[in-house]
Amino acid sequence: MKIFDHIKSDGLFSPSTIEGAILYGVVFAVAAWLLGQLLRIMVQRALARDKHGHFDLMAVKFFAKLLRYCVYVVAAVAYAHFVPALSSLGTASLTSISVITVVVGLAAQNTLGNLVAGISLLLYRPFKLGDRLQVMAPTGVETGTVENLTLGYTLLKTDENRRIVVPNSLMASQTTINLTGDDPRILCSVPVCLSHAADIDEARGILLALAGRHPKTLVVSGCPLTQLGPTGMVLTLDVWCADALTAITLRGNLLELALKSFAAAGIAIPLPAAVLVLGEPPGSSGRLPATPPKAPPAPKPSS
């Protein structure tokens, strides 16, 4: 305290003057920025030395960013108490500051809600960086990989290289399907349509053989008949694979191989068809009238 009192009474370096207030403002800003950069470098070095994954990457980045913002806030508050004009202004207008705080809190309730939701996501850990999630977006159900969890939003990257930005409050409240989790394996279901005239046993044998020979197949679960319709029937080939991203590739490969194998074996696949009936409607003679019907007579003008 004696050092601060000595500085305050020292001419140009006195924070009670405009020049001194500006000078110390620059000093506090630079000190806060340097401390923030030091924290960032320390976090990066700690993560680089973590070869065995002991640190949760998402949690470390989140709290490091939160701590840097706290450093800036503490520097601003310390500067306000250090400058006599700002300190006396804060004491004199305490009521006004309280009203402003309430107004700002109401206006920023969504931002604060996202911040609190982000902390709860880190505490409960329903997902981590690199997990594949299914979330509900305005475009429908979207699937993406978690890239980052910021103070306000969760960032997902889709297979089409699009970015889905979801507020943390919505991420914490909606139902999310984690396609990775502790066991990333997934059951890949491949429906294949057949005509009624096709040999179902021969078709099932071809599908099971194709799935068993595919390099991305872990276990072939089966190939039951799952649907019987007016135009054909559906065999569903169930195959276990490594993860959800592999399932997309595996499903496309099996469909293409099945189409080629069925064509070589002469197994028909039902195609969309429309039935056009040419004939007379029931109860009609099928003849056009000999003469068109006469128009009704025009009404006579009244006298």
For the stretch 109-154, pLDDT in tens is 777 888 888 888 888 888 888 888 989 888 888 889 998 888 888 9
Give the position of tokens 């074996």: 265
Two tokens at 114?
Answer: 């996202």
Predicted model pTM: 0.54
83 CB-contact burial (10 Å; exposed 0-12 / middle 13-18 / buried 19+) = buried
Comparing C-alpha atoms, which of 154, 158, 135, 144 is closest to residue 58?
A: 154
| pLDDT tens per residue across span 2-31 | 555 555 555 556 777 777 778 878 888 888
Give the chain's count of helices (H) and strands (E).
Answer: 9, 9
For the chain, the 3-state helix, strand and coil shares in percent, each to the nearest 5, are 50, 20, 35
The full set of domain ranges for the chain reads 2-92, 125-178, 186-265
pLDDT in tens, 249-273: 999 999 999 999 999 998 888 876 6
- Residue 90 vs residue 83, higher pLDDT: 83
Report the candidate in 268, 209, 263 with the shortest Cα–Cα distance to residue 237: 209
Given a cut of 60, is residue 303 above it in pLDDT? no
Instruction: Look up residue 128 and give its amino acid.
Output: K
Task: State residue 21 phi and psi, 5-degree precision.
Answer: -65, -40
Q: Are 61 and 118 in contact (CB under 8 A)?
A: no
pLDDT given at position 231: 82
Q: Which CATH number is associated with domain 186-265?
A: 3.30.70.100
pLDDT at residue number 56: 65
Nearest by Cα to 151 from 115, 104, 194: 115
The 10s digit of each residue's pLDDT in 171-199 is 888 888 888 877 788 899 999 999 888 89
Q: Choose the CATH number for 125-178 among 1.20.1260.120, 2.60.40.10, 2.30.30.60, 2.40.50.140.
A: 2.30.30.60
Say what percent of the chain tops pLDDT 90.
24
**Widest distance between CA atoms in the chain:** 121
